[in-house]
């Protein structure tokens, strides 16, 4: 039995995922006994709901079933969205995190905006604009009690 190649799966899926309107964020292939587990991480502007995951799962499954990227070995397909712990490394990651509390390069602030040049953070009430060349990977901070106004629950 030949192992499934991550690079081969990725190169097969990248164009079909893009054509369906999604971004292919990652592909992992793990051996699980006699089969492989192919885990595909996708995202798009506006996020993913269950209908979107079902839609892109069909597209990915069809591409793998009708091509030779997965070989003839049995596999299990998992299609998922990136978790909150995914580092923000691409402009699209930053753009999708607008409004969230993020930490990057020793700063923590609310991400006001992101474009192709960089990001603007609200750091303690002061807007700071930083270019991507000044930033390392950012991380979304989990907020458990945030009201829509950003002031927390003041009851």
Distance in angstroms (rounded) separating the CA atoms of residues 38 and 31? 9
In a domain, residue 85? The reply is no
The two most distant CA atoms of the chain are separated, in Å, by 62
Q: Describe the strand order of the beta sheet including 75-80 as a list of residue ranges.
A: 23-32, 35-43, 75-80
In a domain, residue 115? The reply is yes
Domain that holds residue 40: 6-80
Q: How many domains does the chain have?
A: 2
In a domain, residue 1? The reply is no
Q: How far is CA 87 from the centre of its chain?
A: 9
Give SS3 for 138: strand
Task: Read off the tokens for 139.
Answer: 């991380």
Residue 6 has what pLDDT? 87
Q: 14-54: per-residue pLDDT in tens?
A: 999 999 999 999 999 998 888 889 999 999 988 889 999 99
């Amino acid at each position: 039995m030949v192992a499934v190649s991550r690079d081969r799966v990725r190169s097969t899926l990248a164009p079909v995922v893009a054509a369906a309107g999604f971004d292919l964020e990652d592909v992992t292939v793990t051996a699980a006994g006699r089969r492989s587990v192919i885990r595909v991480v996708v995202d798009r502007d506006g996020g993913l709901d269950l209908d979107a995951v079902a839609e892109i799962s069909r597209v990915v499954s069809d591409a793998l079933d009708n091509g030779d990227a997965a070989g003839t070995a049995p596999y299990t397909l998992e299609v998922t969205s990136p978790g909150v712990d995914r580092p923000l490394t691409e402009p699209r990651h930053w753009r999708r995190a607008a409004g969230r509390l993020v930490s990057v390069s020793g700063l923590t602030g609310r991400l006001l905006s992101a474009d192709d040049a960089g990001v603007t953070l609200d750091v303690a009430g002061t807007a700071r604009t930083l270019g991507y060349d000044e930033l390392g990977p950012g991380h979304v901070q989990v907020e458990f009690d945030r009201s829509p106004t950003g002031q927390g629950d003041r009851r």
